[in-house]
A and B are shown apart, each in its own frame.
Chain A
């Protein structure tokens, strides 16, 4: 009985957590659409977070994209050539890189690099009573701390994913050309890829970057701000952020993929 009860309790807790994250995310989108929310200090936080999450991550994302491009695009070129299906190279690459690998890897990079830092930063602020200092000055923590960070994370994931796609295709083509496995003519390669892109892919990459990015920001902020006055709780908040944000990214990714194909 206690085993069944614990499963039930776990399910109830999971439901409450999901409902909380979704309601905070909805509130953040509503706040972000209100021009009065974007005061000078809030814009300052947004800018700094975009620099940290987006701009500063370009180098690392570029390296990962280059390596991914070499391994995925070259293999695809080789195998499609052997199977005599070279005309399917574009659609295959779009499916693998644009729809799946690009958004997923970028989301994971942002979780590891930025969401952990955000959770630790906000948890530290909570422990040092700095959130109360902000609140007492009339700076709503949801508006000043959570909203710009979550929005910047969503925008950064989208921007980095676009960059990832371009870099991985570029590196894959160049490597294929160098090894003599690719089509050789860059025009043929580009046309093949462009032919493989449909309007669904645009919505797909939007949904797989903006939504998980926003959820990651909300989860990191929520875990950070839920620390109650003890510094030793900070590492646990960071760990929970990684686990829960990773799960959220995968769940959203699966749902969007299924919706794309049905």
Chain B
């Protein structure tokens, strides 16, 4: 039974098609892939192509026009709203665009999901947040609302938020956009560590540093070719 659970994909797209109805969503067609525990899937995006809805689909925030998206073996469409919220609590995300709640300060934003979904104390979460922030070169967490904080700092703090706690899945939507180039290896290293702990990672990027990086752990690479997802390397690479 335990073996079966380990084999269940964390995330699975089955023939997913979305026909765009707004400027906020790009169309995608017949997307198939799965992501297991500890796996990293890198999806290369064409430069300037935005609003590929893989992240909202993966989180059950957007229903596909056809096909299905399964999280930990269960179709988002079959879950009740309350169950969806609990399951989303196991997912962390770096957002393509602004991903902050402006009426909370930065630290509250960083601790929000972890404090809501777990019994950890805020002090405990804050301690972990500070440790992760130092890893990315941030000695202090700004005591201010996100709108008062520099975009580059916010971007690195989004990395911190994505790594806090023990998520099942981390979704990184262009996480290096707006971040200093020098910090990219730190993020990749942190993501590799998370994947070694069993976290599945979906990394959407147009950055060559990621698409060509061979130091990431068990990784499969795809690229968006128009509306289709095409496998670039079907085998599993490893830094051994």
**Pair from one complex:** yes
A interface list, Cβ under 8 A from B? 39-42, 44, 121, 124-125, 128-130, 132-140, 143-144
Minimal Cβ-Cβ distance residue in B for A229: B24
Is residue B63 contacting chain A, with contact meaning CB distance below 8 A?
A: no
Q: Evaluate whether A138 and B101 lie within 8 angstroms (CB atoms) in the complex, with A40-B116, A41-B112, A133-B95 already known.
A: no
Q: Evaluate whether A139 and B102 lie within 8 angstroms (CB atoms) in the complex, with A41-B112, A129-B97 already known.
A: no
**Could you say which interface size class chain B belongs to?**
20 to 34
- Give Cα A168–Cα B99 distance, bound, in whole angstroms: 48
| 26 residue pairs A–B, Cβ–Cβ below 8 Å | A40-B115, A40-B122, A41-B108, A41-B115, A42-B116, A44-B108, A121-B103, A129-B98, A130-B101, A133-B95, A134-B112, A136-B56, A136-B61, A136-B88, A136-B95, A137-B88, A137-B113, A137-B116, A138-B85, A138-B88, A138-B89, A138-B113, A139-B85, A139-B112, A140-B81, A143-B85
On chain B, the residues within 8 Å of A125 by CB distance are: 101-103
Task: Check if A130 sits within 8 Å of B116, measured CB to CB.
Answer: no
Task: Check if A39 sits within 8 Å of B116, measured CB to CB.
Answer: yes
Is residue B232 contacting chain A, with contact meaning CB distance below 8 A?
A: no
Q: Evaluate whether A134 and B101 lie within 8 angstroms (CB atoms) in the complex, with A40-B116, A42-B116 already known.
A: yes
On chain A, the residues within 8 Å of B17 by CB distance are: none
B interface list, Cβ under 8 A from A? 55-56, 59, 61, 81-82, 85-91, 93, 95, 97-103, 108, 112-113, 115-117, 122
Task: Check if A138 sits within 8 Å of B98, measured CB to CB.
Answer: no
Q: A41-B108, A138-B87, A138-B113 are in contact. List 4 more A-B contacts (CB 8 A).
A: A44-B108, A130-B102, A137-B116, A140-B81
On chain A, the residues within 8 Å of B117 by CB distance are: 39, 138
Q: 7 closest Cβ contacts across the A-B interface?
A: A138-B89, A138-B88, A137-B113, A140-B85, A138-B85, A40-B115, A39-B116
Q: Is the interface of A mostly helix, strand, loop or mixed?
A: helix
On chain B, the residues within 8 Å of A124 by CB distance are: 102
Query: Contacting A139 at CB < 8 Å: which of B56, B97, B113?
Result: B113
Taking the closest CB of chain A, its distance from the CB of B127, in whole angstroms, is: 16
On chain A, the residues within 8 Å of B99 by CB distance are: 133
- Give Cα A42–Cα B116 distance, bound, in whole angstroms: 8
On chain A, the residues within 8 Å of B61 by CB distance are: 132, 135-136
Taking the closest CB of chain A, its distance from the CB of B95, in whole angstroms, is: 7
- Give Cα A121–Cα B101 distance, bound, in whole angstroms: 11
On chain A, the residues within 8 Å of B81 by CB distance are: 140
- Give Cα A40–Cα B112 distance, bound, in whole angstroms: 9
